Amino acid sequence: MKLNLAGLRADRAAFEAAGYELPIFDYETVKKNTCQRPVWIHFGAGNLFRAFQSNVMQKLLNNGCMDTGLIAAEGYDYEIIEKSSRPHDNLSILATLKADNTVEKTVVGSVMESLILDSANEREYSRLREIFACPSLQMVSFTITEKGYAIVDPKGAVLPGIAADFEKGPEKPDSYLGKVVSLLYHRYQSGSLPVAMVSMDNCSHNGDKLQAAVLAFADAWCEGKLADRGFAEYVRDGSRVSFPWTMIDKITPRPDAKVEAMLAADGIEELDAVVTSKNTYIAPFVNAEECEYLVIEDAFPGGRPPLEKGGIIFTDRETVDKVEKMKVCTCLNPLHTTLAIFGCLLGYTLISEEMRNPLLKGLVESIGYREGLPVVVDPGILDPRDFIGQVINVRFPNPFMPDTPQRIATDTSQKLAIRFGETIKAYDKSPDLNVSDLKLIPLVFAGWLRYLMAVDDSGNRFTPSPDPLLEAAGAYVEGYELSDAPKDLDRLDKLLSNEKVFGVDLVKLGLADTVKKYFAELSQGEGAVKAVLEKYVK
């Protein structure tokens, strides 16, 4: 069996006999409709898009709720389209890895067209302009990572590629954002048509990040007289161009070799993964967990697809913000980071394996239920206690999910302030709670200091995951060894008082001594990490 349209037609019975759910809509009619009156184009044709948004659209097509499909575009790594999407006629296989040890296999065929966002490729770019000129287009969505919206470097200087595009104007920009904004400018020139620009990247207030980038280009081009002055007004007019906030949550690791072997055993050919020249790892299939959440601010000036019929939640901006804070500050991300730190120290290579350790499971249960829930932001549309329960009992323990503590440990210094600092601030502000009530969040901070030593609990050295502050933060623990209690712990105070790292000044709040005490205990030789968890996790 081959994963393309011809193979699907020739071997449909064989696919179904092997347990695959297939598209049941009239493909040719949907493709024709999509070409003539596109409704939704998505930039960022990676694994998350193929596991989540594409499958939601397929559900709508199968149920007759939509008669147009998706258009996928890629503006960073063109080989995703050239070597993975098009050779399979834009079909992909979604392997949903369930916690009950079953796999749901779906051939997803909702993507009707895939395009390369390259202003130097006249054929591809002309088609994109054509799409953006269509009155039918309602939504332009993105999963291009938070870094994809960057206009300036950490020092505030405009990035060279962005600055060059500011000077060149909208005709043939080279940067990802410049190309997107030039297409939006074409939509403006085509009658100031309404559209929603929807970031679906996993970052807080993502709509604002996208809007700031678009406005920077619009203002630069208008001020340089490279674009009509009305363009800047157009992108600022929420009745014509909106930038909704969203919260997305779905764990989608890179395609796994075990899943590839399972699909190959079903008789499906040519499933080899592709590693592109830009080091993107992509395959004709994607593996993902069953749980998924996408909450979108309902701000669509030109209308929108009925995505709520596919499980998407639409609400107001304030509620999206509450859902984001619930997930990032309490119910998922802090627990993930906890497992990442202690998983690396204890030699684990899978998050799911960590959850079989009663000490680690007890640690995240206590941080979530006991320390986080008292100050959780309750969004009303999702229950925080139920959300934590699903994370701890269904999502993290899923034996099929090949997610690693090493991956989650990436950029930990950039995550602590939000994932734990906000809870500490809430305790500090509460008339009924005290920061001294927090016992296990300080233990996570101490665990991170111990992690920075790059020696696991068995005394073996390991390579910490990439982190922009790895060298600077690591300098504070340099010289400490796994032996007796470390001496001169006061030199840690400068790091522990850094609000950019922890979100608060731990020294001023009186938590630094607790962190240092834990760190000393964690450093008392081989096996100390396990011993500390046995002592404090109840």
Q: What is the pLDDT of residues 92-102, one digit of tens each?
A: 999 999 888 88
3-state secondary structure of 102: coil
Q: What is the mean pLDDT of residues 263-279?
A: 90
Band of the pLDDT at 338, cuts 50, 70, 90? very high
- Spacing of C-alpha 517 from chain mean position: 35
Q: What is the mean pLDDT of residues 300-308?
A: 98
Residue 437 pLDDT exceeds 90: yes
Q: What is the DSSP string of 290-326?
A: S--EEEEE---TT----GGGGT-EEE-HHHHHHHHHH
* Chain segment 157-178, per-residue pLDDT in tens: 999 999 999 999 999 999 999 9
Q: Under a CB-based contact definition with an 8 Å cutoff, are residues 258 and 294 in contact?
A: no
Residue 279 pLDDT exceeds 90: no
Q: What pLDDT sits at residue 278?
A: 87
Q: What pLDDT sits at residue 233?
A: 98
Q: What pLDDT sits at residue 16?
A: 97
Residue 486 pLDDT exceeds 80: no
* Chain segment 465-483, per-residue pLDDT in tens: 999 999 999 999 998 988 7
For CA atoms 301, 303, 307, 313, the dihedral sign is positive
Band of the pLDDT at 80, cuts 50, 70, 90? very high
Residue 179 phi/psi, 5-degree rounding, is -65, -40
Structure tokens that stand for 379 in this block = 């969004």
Residue 155 pLDDT exceeds 90: no
* Chain segment 16-45, per-residue pLDDT in tens: 999 999 999 999 999 999 999 999 999 999
Reported as type and span, the H/E element at residue 535 is: helix 528-536
Q: What pLDDT sits at residue 463?
A: 97
Q: Under a CB-based contact definition with an 8 Å cutoff, are residues 125 and 77 in contact?
A: no
Residue 253 pLDDT exceeds 80: yes
Task: Please give the span between the terminal C-alpha atoms of the chain, in angstroms, as a whole number.
Answer: 53
Q: How far apart are CA 458 and CA 346, in angstroms?
A: 8
Q: What pLDDT sits at residue 289?
A: 92
The DSSP call for residue 421 is: I
Q: What is the mean pLDDT of residues 5-14?
A: 96
Residue 485 pLDDT exceeds 80: no
Q: What pLDDT sits at residue 403?
A: 86
Neighbours of 42 (CB within 10 A): 22
Q: How far apart are CA 470 and CA 414, in angstroms?
A: 10
* AA identity, residue 154: P
Q: How far apart are CA 473 and CA 32, in angstroms?
A: 56
For CA atoms 211, 212, 218, 223, the dihedral sign is positive
Q: What is the mean pLDDT of residues 256-267?
A: 92
pLDDT > 90 in the chain, percent: 90
* Chain segment 395-429, per-residue pLDDT in tens: 999 988 888 999 999 999 999 999 999 999 999 99
Q: Under a CB-based contact definition with an 8 Å cutoff, are residues 274 and 84 in contact?
A: yes
Q: What pLDDT sits at residue 401?
A: 82
Q: How far apart are CA 190 and CA 135, in angstroms?
A: 9
Q: What pLDDT sits at residue 272?
A: 86
* AA identity, residue 308: E
Structure tokens that stand for 411 in this block = 């950029």
Q: What is the mean pLDDT of the chain?
A: 95
pLDDT > 70 in the chain, percent: 100
- Spacing of C-alpha 214 from chain mean position: 21
Q: How far apart are CA 343 and CA 349, in angstroms?
A: 7
Q: What is the mean pLDDT of residues 350-370?
A: 97
